[in-house]
Structure 1
Amino acid sequence: MARQPTHPSSPRPGSVTLEDIAAHAGVSRSTVSLVLRESPLVAERTRDNVRASIKTLGYVYNRGAAALRSSRTHTLGVVVYDIANPFFGAMVAGIDAALHRENYVSFLANSEDSPQRQLRFLERMREHRVDGILLCPSEGTDPALIATLSDWNLPCVQVLRHVGEPPFDYAGTDFEQGVRLAVDHLVARGHRQIAFIGGEAEHSATLARWRGYFAAIADHGLAPRHLRTALTRRAGFEAIQTLMAEPTPPSAVVCHNDLMAFGAMLGLKRLGLTPGVDCAVVGTDDVEEAALSDPPLTSVATHPYAIGEEAARLALRRIADPDGAREQVILSPRLQVRESSDAAERHQDPATTSKASAQHARRLTTP
């Protein structure tokens, strides 16, 4: 026979027990315990009733004490280096979706590309006994950090960037192939003056992009043209104006990421030029804003949401099997063609190029 709910007087703050909640909700103490541990074995209606009683009685679940009685905390630390970049918003959404299905939650930290700040977050996450780490290594990360995390018994999956020598767990995309796709597309559209606006950092993701650019340019027998700069919208804005001031400006640019590409398109507009007509622009990542920009941005889709899901799944596999073979999950990029790379083949015409160059120079020197 089902127990009938009772409604005792509210216990004193801080003195609420599982028995009090069970009595209030009309269920057993073990059912309350299952609800607190987010077990899928409890019916949804029963969970709602128990949670309502918990809220009414003001009970606060001491998850830290519960973790001491268990080998797992069902938490995962996530450290990224640029939380302002919409790419990471999509990636973290993918991480949370995968974790939610397994009753895990994530703790997110932003290293701001500082190894010192990164280490501080990792130490704090260790103190909170997270079950594993998803790490986008900051620039300058000591490869020994991965061994340190192993010594801490903290499974680590590197995401997007990687340090150290394999084997290691990693989830990301083929950045080198992505840039190759962009250059091949622009060559097929008739471009021969193709510049690359890339990052300055010496980490794996940036180096892979540079390899892709130089290899693709060499494959097509073209001369490389490039600028190294910061990975921001403003950097793209300034870089494109520098390139367009050259005696023979490029007819197309490939950018390290979409933020730089958005800045490049704004820079072209500041010069009175039309992105996709006077100069083609291709970004990398294919964030949501790419399809909404003016003009819509051609971009190499690197699948941030899927990377997040794959990284989280890999972390859960490693937590379940700490000594298993290390895995690398590398997704294939896809070129999403839009209006920003719809520049016509007229860019091959030397007369047009010279006229455009003079126009750009005048605009840059006009007060």
Structure 2
Amino acid sequence: MKTSKKRSHVTLQDVAAHAGVSRATASLVLRGSPNISEATRQKVLAAMQQLGYVYDRIAANLRSNASSTVGLIIMELANPFYSELLVGIHQELDKFGYTVILGTTFDSHAIQERLLSTMLEHRVGGIILSAVPGSSSEGVNQIIKLGIPVVLVGRKIANVSCDYVGIDNVRGGQIAAEHLIRKGHRRIAFLGGFSQLSSWQERKRGYDQAHYAAGLPIDNNLVVETPATRQGGIAAIQKVLTAPEPPTAAFCYNDMIAIGAMMQMKEMGFVPGRDMAIVGFDDIPEATIFSPKLTTVSSFPRLMGIHAARLLHAQIEGAADEPQTIILQPELIVRESCSYAKNQTRA
């Protein structure tokens, strides 16, 4: 009890003295200033943790329900998946009167860490996070220990116990590959994304399972990792189409990669959907606009956002006990980009 009393009176000046810096420098660290060296920032953060400054100041605000602001950290808004996710989150949080602070990481660990620190400075009541690939559990677990609710959406972090909303990626990868196999394709590429992502690993597992069930070998030369963007799709399709034994079909990690791949196919003189079958993942609005219209697996991003917002609100209100996991079931949306393999007759 004595320790708790002593910590409740820790000031920023105490932190500065403990870290061997000025109070102004400690304040700049709190505000996330880019003018502070990493070594100094780590010294100040360590002093805050050792003296209990961060724990007591932020937790006290949360206990008094002083904040009606929540943080949302996503990869980017250029990907329509995240735009749809944001719509769902706002749609639900607006009902409860929350204000949302939005941050975009562009899949950078440094930016994600800085955004999490900024959320703490603004004493948010909770955070919805779509984590960058390979995120460490340390930072998020630290926030959870402060009593700040966290909901992960779309991407898991190993060794973090908190609410999670996602899609059944294994099933999604499986139904995508099965559809191509039913079309007579035997060399199917898996294009884009990075293997550090839990969603990539799960979609790849579904892709593998469909091959095993059909008795088909998996050619690792057809598994190409790239950023989950149009440019990533362009690079991935160039690699497999110029290979000695190119595939006849491709399952893409997401729709952005699939659209980039089809754009590049046209540039190279191929006809998407005829010369090569393409399946995406997410069912973004552009999937119905591009020609040919994209066959894809719907991940219901707007619904994911609604569920994430509801879980966060329940935590902030103290209505939730154990961490909850909500897994949505994917749906294959068949359009025009999936031809039968050449010399394959329809069943």
Q: Could you say which TM-score interval applies, normalised by the shorter chain?
A: 0.7 to 0.9
1:323–1:118: structure 2 CA closer, same or farther, 3 Å change rule? same
Distance in structure 1 (CA, Å) of the matches to 2:96 and 2:156: 26
Match of 1:111 among 80, 105, 108: 105
Listed as ranges, the matches of 1:176-255 within 5 Å are 176-224=170-218, 225-255=222-252
Match of 1:260 among 240, 250, 257: 257
Conserved? CA contact 1:137–1:158, under 8 Å: yes
Listed as ranges, the matches of 1:143-182 within 5 Å are 143-165=137-159, 167-182=161-176
Percentage of identical aligned residues:
38
Partner of 2:124: 130
Conserved? CA contact 1:144–1:164, under 8 Å: no
Conserved? CA contact 1:169–1:328, under 8 Å: yes
Aligned partner letter, 2:214: H
Conserved? CA contact 1:286–1:302, under 8 Å: yes
Match of 2:313 among 286, 291, 316: 316
Distance in structure 2 (CA, Å) of the matches to 1:84 and 1:230: 13
Deviation at 1:69, TM superposition (A): 12
Deviation at 1:209, TM superposition (A): 1.6
Deviation at 1:99, TM superposition (A): 0.4
Distance in structure 1 (CA, Å) of the matches to 2:78 and 2:195: 18
Conserved? CA contact 1:155–1:322, under 8 Å: no
TM-score, scaled relative to structure 1:
0.73
1:150–1:192: structure 2 CA closer, same or farther, 3 Å change rule? same
Partner of 1:4: none
TM-score, scaled relative to structure 2:
0.77
Paired residue secondary structure (1:300): strand
Deviation at 1:177, TM superposition (A): 1.1
Aligned partner letter, 1:344: Y
Q: Structure 2 regions of 5+ residues with no counterpart? A: 1-60
Aligned partner letter, 1:202: Q
Bigger mean CA deviation after superposition, 84-93 or 204-213:
204-213
Listed as ranges, the matches of 1:51-66 within 5 Å are none
Paired residue secondary structure (2:225): strand
Q: Deviations over 1:196-251 (max 9, x none)?
A: 11323412112112212122211111122321222221221122122122333211
Partner of 2:39: none
Conserved? CA contact 1:174–1:331, under 8 Å: yes
Distance in structure 2 (CA, Å) of the matches to 1:129 and 1:166: 21
1:274 correspondence with 2:271: yes
Paired residue secondary structure (2:185): coil
1:286 correspondence with 2:283: yes
Deviation at 1:166, TM superposition (A): 5.8
Partner of 1:28: none
Distance in structure 2 (CA, Å) of the matches to 1:199 and 1:271: 22
1:326–1:319: structure 2 CA closer, same or farther, 3 Å change rule? same
Deviation at 1:346, TM superposition (A): 2.3
1:121–1:193: structure 2 CA closer, same or farther, 3 Å change rule? same
Aligned partner letter, 2:94: H
Aligned partner letter, 2:185: H
Aligned partner letter, 2:299: T
Conserved? CA contact 1:186–1:252, under 8 Å: yes
Paired residue secondary structure (2:280): strand
Deviation at 1:85, TM superposition (A): 1.0
Partner of 1:299: 296
Partner of 1:356: none
Aligned partner letter, 1:161: R
Deviation at 1:323, TM superposition (A): 6.2
Partner of 1:81: 75
Aligned partner letter, 1:174: D
Q: Which has the larger radius of gyration?
A: 1
1:216–1:245: structure 2 CA closer, same or farther, 3 Å change rule? same
